[in-house]
Amino acid sequence: MPEAQTELEFEIIELATESLETFCEDISGMFDIKMECTQQQFTNLDVNGLKKTFKKFAAVNTVKTEGALNGVFYLIFDKAGTFTLSGIVVMLPEKRIIEMAKKGSESEAENLSDSIREMGNLLVGSWDRIFRENLEGHGHFTQTNTFIGNPWGKPEESIQLDSSEELLFIPYEITIGSYQPFNCGVAFPKSIFDKKPETEDEQPAAEDTTDTVEEEKTEDTTEPDVVSEPAAPADTEAKEETAEAKEPAAPEDTKTKEETTETEEPAAPADAETKEETAETEEPAATADAEAKEETTETEEPAATANAETKEETPEANVSETIQKMAQSPADLPGENTLIPSNLTANELMQTQIVWGTAEDSVQQTLTNMQKADAGYILIGKDQIPEGIISKSDLNGAVSPYLKPIFAKWRRPLDDATLQIKIKWIMTRPVKTIKPDTTLNVIMDTMRQFGNRCLPVTDESGKAIGIVTVFDVFKALTNNPNFSTVGTTPQAPALA
């Protein structure tokens, strides 16, 4: 195999780097982050070489090209890249992104598949633009598939790449803000650089087969992609809603940070506060999610399981949850804590006063309703069926911290605009509910597992008849004669 690159290959390498730089600039502008790439030494290799770079996890975007280049090529992100980029897109908390970049599982990637694929779409868009402007005879780039997972076992099936195919590979290191740098690369099958026959009969056999085979295969690509597909819609939706909760806060947050450098004093508390709210609305869902997910990876077969919601509710997930707990603290087994009154149920704990709102209400209206009723939570829905739930912290997280009187001096029209955000964008959805006969133990466990501080109680028809908040739980516990509130919790372990 000749190692030397042809003139066309050199031109493509240059354009590839320009395209990726453009993508980085595009994403930087779009998400207000600093994203940069550095080209590494290009090589000629085969699938095994790719496997060494990308290990057991990659997001592979298959790009069909016609015109000056003919066939398909691959834009590949490693695990850290896949999670960092998609995490930023859906505005996951930084801590969560860092965690997933290190040890995100295939099923976690599944939940982000819509944004991973859309990132690929943007990537291909940037590339197409640069090639269109600079490469004579360039036709069109089309993203035909995004494979997420380990493609190297059967690359013919997963990404329609023959293991014997020789590839020109250009690796890049990408950095985004303060996140760990990650790897990405573009792999061009060498055959893509073959000149297209001038006339039909010149090299018909060889060219034709590559062309049609690849075309047929790319049509098929939706099949293998199914690995990630089924979970995507519902779950991504749910995730996004969670991410949404934080959404309006994020730009403000960045803004606050900028102001910090200029104004010092007032910005600091605001910044901290926004962060805190964000963490509050975001974290729990993500953590609960992660717990369930990690279990799934350990027990393998992540692809087979549906979305997180169902996963959390499957008996398997509960079993592993229990096993995990047993390993951590045998005293903590559910149902065995004698301090918790086991006979109390939601029916006895719940508040029956429910404040209702609609998804079309604005943040401002909802804040007013909450204040009027002195309620910490508002259920969103029609005919007593809860479609979403919104907490005081959700609202605080949604509105600009600059609306506080202390910041009046810095207040801008955009800050007031946050009061007009509709509840549907920030409410938590779907709503985790409990039944009237759900016991205190299960209520506490549900709250802890799902990170919910308020659980609506629904009857058989799905209508909400009350809510149980963490405060109702505290009240039940402190009223319990077995539960002592005297004394202090040891803050440091005793020396043995």
Partner 1 sequence: MAKSLMIVDDSATMRKIIMRTVRMSGLEFSRTEEAGNGNEALEKLNAEPVEIMLCDINMPEMSGSELVKKVRELPSCDDTKIVMVSTESSQEIIDDLLANGANGYITKPFTPEKFQEKLAPFMN
**Site residues, partner 1 (CB under 8 A):** 23, 26-27, 29-30, 89-90, 114-115, 117-118, 121-122, 124-126, 128-129, 132, 140, 233, 236-237, 240, 243-244, 247-248, 251, 413-414, 417, 420-422, 425
**Number of helical (H) and strand (E) elements in the chain, helices listed first:** 21, 12
My answer on whether omega of the bond before 430 falls inside 30° of 0, hence cis, is yes
Pick the closer one to partner 1 by CB: 412 or 475.
412
H or E stretch including 186?
strand 182-189
As measured in angstroms, the least distance from the Cβ of 128 to partner 1 is 6
Q: Which is nearer to partner 1, 16 or 27 (CB)?
A: 27
Residue 78 or 240 with smaller CB distance to partner 1: 240
Measured from the CB atom, the residue of 87 and 381 that comes closer to partner 1 is 87
Judged by beta carbon, residue 35 or residue 317, the one nearer partner 1 is 35
CB of 251 to partner 1, least distance (A): 6
CB of 126 to partner 1, least distance (A): 7
In whole angstroms, the minimum distance from the beta carbon of 152 to partner 1 comes to 27
C-alpha–C-alpha distance, residues 318 and 320, integer Å: 5
What is the residue type of 266? P
Provide the minimum distance between the beta carbon of 53 and partner 1 in the complex, in angstroms, as a whole number: 26
Nearer to partner 1, 143 or 296 (CB): 143
Cβ atoms of 179 and 98 within 8 Å: the answer is: yes
Task: Tell me the C-alpha distance between 195 and 87, whole Å.
Answer: 40
Number of neighbours of residue 349 by Cβ within 10 angstroms: 23
**Shortest separation between residue 116's beta carbon and partner 1, angstroms:** 9
Cis peptide before 436 (omega within 30 of 0): no
Q: What are the two backbone dihedrals, phi and then psi, of residue 39, each rounded to the nearest 5 degrees?
A: -75, 140
User: CA–CA separation, 216 vs 391, rounded Å?
Assistant: 51
Those residues with Cβ within 8 angstroms of residue 421's Cβ, 6 or more apart along the chain or in another chain: 248, 362, 363, 398, 399
Other residues' Cβ atoms within 10 Å of the Cβ of residue 466:
20
Closest to partner 1 by CB, 114 or 289: 114
Smallest gap from residue 218 Cβ to partner 1 (A): 14
Nearer to partner 1, 126 or 183 (CB): 126
CB nearer to partner 1: give 425 or 483.
Answer: 425
Q: Tell me how far, at minimum, the Cβ of 248 lies from partner 1, in Å.
A: 7
- The neighbour count for residue 229, using CB atoms within 10 Å, is 16
Give the Cα separation of 28 and 20 in Å (integer): 12
- End-to-end C-alpha distance for the chain, whole angstroms: 67
> Measured from the CB of residue 78, what is the shortest distance to partner 1 in angstroms?
20
Q: How far is the CB of 88 from partner 1 (least distance, A)?
A: 11
CA angle 384, 388, 393 (to 5 degrees): 120
- Alpha helices by DSSP H, 197-236: 204-220, 222-225
The answer to whether the beta carbons of residues 312 and 449 sit under 8 Å apart is: yes
Q: Which is nearer to partner 1, 232 or 457 (CB)?
A: 232
Instruction: From 343, 349, 360, 303, select the one nearest 456 (Cα to Cα).
Output: 349
For residues 306 and 320, what is the distance between their CA atoms, to the nearest angstrom? 17
Strand-pair category, 167-176 with 182-189 = antiparallel
Closer of 36 and 291 to partner 1 (Cβ): 36
Type of residue numbered 206 = A
Q: How far is the CB of 413 from partner 1 (least distance, A)?
A: 7
What value, to the nearest 5°, has the Cα angle with vertex 141 and ends 31 and 17?
60
